[in-house]
Chains A and B, each alone.
Chain A
């Protein structure tokens, strides 16, 4: 698993992952429930303070947002056309805060601890016959698959580019899906071989 953990000696690093996930879920829900730009601005300041508390630089907070710039651009243009620039700014600001907060969780929590935390949180479900190991495996696999998918689509697009098919949605979608399913079969064999 891709681990973005940055070791520091801070109270945020020491906090149990379950609490951090819960806090993230609550803050995100509040930000979406109360559509107000002042709240999002406040959350941005609060988030930057939390980065200082975790002894991480503001540059690291910025790094969480940077890969999403082109999505921000698209959102802003779409909101500009269909709504207004202020709503666009608000949506981007809220999005940035969420990315920074989710990034803070990743930076201060080892992935293995994160999965253990989710599993611990799901334990009560065992009483109802759920296989909770399966759920946490599925969650961590999903997060790992997202960059894999992007990479596969990129490779297929480059391959189809040489055939002049880069604008044909089928020529991109079908090989990408077939290839990722084949990759997922290899992964499940590997997991079984390790005796999951």
Chain B
């Protein structure tokens, strides 16, 4: 890990914070729809597994330190115990998995393939952590928690498509990333 890697990790952690300012909508269960999950997808797709995962981990570390950087101005160690705590942990793993899938290619993967990667890591993995956690915290069955979270799916799919398009152009502009 050289200085360039550290600076890029910091940059994408800051990008996560900046995306948190985009207004959020809170659903009845208390789980917010935010633009921040797009930051997770971008970090994985542009930085790869190690740097992408660390960027999100760094961002969450700052949140845990008490900076109100999560969407809606939430922060502090308390958020990790709330309804969306599992999704936050899933963010780190999701970015890592997206990066892992992208890292398998020496050159830019085909658009459809990169979209699938982003869907798998950015939605599949994130939900894998978030849904059981939500079920536990909100006293729901897994099925109920999944149905409750499904409200986010359309928005998350739109974010995945946006990310795939943006990542393709950015990688084209900076192939050495």
Contact = CB atoms under 8 A, between A and B. Distances in A.
Interface of A: 21, 24-25, 27-33, 68, 71, 74-75, 78-79, 82-83, 91, 95, 98-99, 101-102, 131, 134, 137-139, 141-143, 145-146, 148-150, 153, 169-170, 173-174, 177-178, 180-182, 184-185, 187-188, 191-192, 196
B23 A187 contact: no
A182 to B, nearest CB: 7
Contacts of A143: 14, 62
A-B pairs, 6 with minimum CB distance: A32-B78, A28-B76, A145-B14, A141-B10, A28-B66, A29-B77
Given A98-B68, A142-B62, A181-B174, 4 more contacts: A28-B66, A138-B9, A180-B15, A184-B4
B115 to A, nearest CB: 15
Interface string B7-45: 111110111011001011111100000000000001000
Nearest to B54: A138
B166 A137 contact: no
B170 A137 contact: no
Given A74-B23, A142-B58, A177-B166, A184 B8 contact: yes
Contact of A178 (B24, B72, B82, B170): B170
Given A33-B81, A68-B73, A138 B10 contact: yes
B128 interface: no
Given A78-B23, A178-B170, A28 B77 contact: yes
Contact of A145 (B2, B10, B21, B26): B10
A8 B127 CA distance: 49
9 contacts: A29-B77, A78-B24, A79-B26, A82-B27, A131-B1, A137-B6, A142-B58, A174-B173, A188-B7
A140 B24 CA distance: 27
Contacts of B74: 32
Contacts of A145: 10-11, 13-14
Interface of B: 1-4, 6-11, 13-15, 17-18, 21, 23-28, 42, 46, 58-59, 61-62, 64-68, 72-79, 81-82, 162, 165-166, 169-170, 173-174, 177
Given A78-B23, A98-B68, A149 B14 contact: yes
A102 B1 contact: no
Contact of A138 (B6, B68, B72): B6
Q: Which of B1, B28, B78, B165 has the most CB of A within 10 A?
A: B78
B105 to A, nearest CB: 19
A83 B30 CA distance: 10
Given A98-B66, A142-B59, A196-B3, A31 B76 contact: yes
B6 A134 contact: yes
Given A29-B66, A83-B26, A178 B174 contact: yes
Contacts of B13: 138, 142, 145
B76 A98 contact: yes
A178 B1 CA distance: 21
Contacts of A91: 72-73
Given A29-B76, A102-B66, A146-B17, A170 B165 contact: yes
A46 B163 CA distance: 43
